Amino acid sequence: MNNSNQTYAAGEGGLNRFFTKMYGFMAGAVAFSALIAYLCATTFQMSVLNFFGTHRFAFFALFAIQLVMVFGVSFKPGRSAVSSIVMLFAFAGIEGLFLSTILMVYDISHVAMAFVAAATEFVVLAIFGATTKKDLSGFGKQALAALIALILVTFINIFLQSPMISYIFSFVGVIIFTILTAWDSQNFKNMYLQFGDQVNTTSLAVSGALQLYLDFINIFIQLLTIFSGGSSRD
């Protein structure tokens, strides 16, 4: 009985350190993306525009590289911590390049409002997911199913080019990623408590940071579409 209590206490203390790592890596990745986005939208704006203008398939190539990184970090949480961290920040750097186009075409006031709102929402939902006793797995699975449908609609809208469809489904996107934020926080908490003594916890924290990073970025993008009324600046 005494050993059980000691193990539980150690797990609770370790859980706090795990959360600190996971949210710390996530915040660092967001900050790195913001820095890259700012530099690419200002100092290196012409270079970025020329790069994508000259290499038309670069966008898809970089996106494919990101997918490989997501699979690498997410599905191999037992890999070395260093390689996981490198992939996380490489992913964040590429995402920053993509996000720079947002700074180029959207009003900065809308960008600022969307970021503050996304950050506030993320913090609230992450805390809720990490502390609630309610099992969120059912909601999370439904959100994943809805996300697949949203991706299909978004893909179709690439050809339709309908601002109204983009605007309407941005509300759906916010709901989906709001649920996923809470679920991911709870899911990685449970993974740590179940497998924390069997895997590299830093690597697991990086894996969680990537999932939460994706949740935050998508909430930000959906809110930006809503705040801008579905249209970029002229």
Tens of pLDDT along the chain (234 residues)? 444 443 443 466 788 999 999 999 999 999 999 999 999 999 999 998 888 888 878 878 888 888 888 877 765 655 678 888 999 999 999 999 999 988 888 999 999 999 999 999 999 999 999 999 999 999 999 999 999 999 899 889 888 888 888 899 999 999 999 999 999 999 999 999 988 777 788 989 999 999 999 999 999 999 999 998 866 655
The amino acid sitting at 182 is A
- Predicted confidence at residue 3, as pLDDT, reads 43
Termini Cα distance of the chain: 68
Q: What is the spatial distance between Cα 162 and Cα 132, in angstroms, rounded to a whole number?
A: 39
pTM of the model: 0.88
Length of the chain counted residue by residue:
234
Q: Per-domain residue ranges for the chain?
A: 2-227
Mutual orientation of helices 201-227 and 81-105 as an angle, nearest 10°? 10
Q: What is the spatial distance between Cα 11 and Cα 188, in angstroms, rounded to a whole number?
A: 14
- Predicted confidence at residue 10, as pLDDT, reads 47
- Predicted confidence at residue 93, as pLDDT, reads 95
